[in-house]
Amino acid sequence: MADPTYTPPAVWTNDTENGGRFAGINRPTAGARDEKELPVGEHDFQLYSLATPNGVKATIMFEELLEAGYSEAEYDAWTINISDGSQFGSGFVDLNPNSKIPALLDRSGDKPIRIFESGAILMHLAEKFGTFLPTDHTRAEALSWLFWQVGSAPFIGGGFGHFYAYAPEKYEYPINRYSMETKRLFDVADQRLAQSRYLGGDDYTIADMATFPWLAVFVLGLAYNDAKRFLSIDEYEHVGRWVHEIAARPAVRRGRLVNKALGDSPEEIMLERHSAADFEGKKF
């Protein structure tokens, strides 16, 4: 239960001890904390990310583009270690003033373009290559589900994930609050996927690429300790069908490996990606 002795002060002040495992990097201010240039490769697209649910949205999209034959979508992927505060280096902040992964530099045109926020990156690439986003009457449906996911992620990660798995103390109210919302979101997706193969309809789109990483980690038991059991995720059979279908796609398997910093063996880790050859000998 919540601490009954806590009364918020009239004016909040920063408590550097707050934040649990992230206390060392959490601050109420934005901007660069040190001067650090970003590495740059040879391709038009330079991605700076980490294999979190938000990060792999972008790498899945790039790998799907390459799988579909768009050779111009070759990219360099560089790991940004958000645990040690690499997202606050000046080079990264220049790309994303919000200091969150992923961030993309598109050098394919006359002038380099920065794109930050995972949903914006997916839309940018879909429109640039003319694929994975419908142009007919189903476009609005796909975009609606894309933005549904973007708006939902904070309740799942920063809400349920934080209070259930990462917070230094366990309190009943926030765990119940965000468990309820996470299950509601799963039910929204489950009911939709009972009606159609993919979120946007019959075709696989960026809406699926955006939503898959967040729901898959629960279905596959990869997130927040025993959250799969705690939330009874197996109840959502249509989400399970959709997750396993998408997880089997070759491009998705590759995309989930890119910028992966943790694993039981070197074959399960890929800090950088510069060509298809980097996948040789890897487990994905």
Name the strand (E) or helix (H) holding 251: helix 250-257
Helix/strand/coil for 87: helix
Which class in CATH covers the domain with range 139-248?
mainly alpha
pTM: 0.95
Superfamily of domain 45-132+259-277 in CATH is: Glutaredoxin (3.40.30.10)
Lowest mean pLDDT among 20-29, 113-122, 167-176, 225-234: 20-29
* Average pLDDT of the chain to the nearest whole number: 95
What is the rounded distance in angstroms from the CA atom of residue 2 to the CA atom of residue 162?
15
Where does the pLDDT of residue 22 fall: very low under 50, low under 70, confident under 90, or very high at 90 and above? low
Q: What is the pLDDT of residue 228?
A: 98
What confidence score (pLDDT) does residue 49 get? 98
Span 39-92, pLDDT tens digits: 999 999 999 999 999 999 999 999 999 999 999 999 999 999 998 999 999 999
pLDDT band for position 3 (cuts 50, 70, 90): low
The β-bridge partners of 89 are 34
Does position 17 have pLDDT exceeding 70, yes or no?
A: no
What residue ranges do the domains of the chain occupy? Answer: 45-132+259-277, 139-248
Q: What is the pLDDT of residues 239-262, one digit of tens each?
A: 999 999 999 999 999 999 999 999
Tens-place pLDDT, residues 193-231 = 999 999 999 999 999 999 999 999 999 999 999 999 999
Q: Is residue 126 over pLDDT 60?
A: yes
- Do 220 and 247 form a contact (C-beta atoms < 8 A)? yes
Rounded CA gap, 268 and 262, in Å?
8
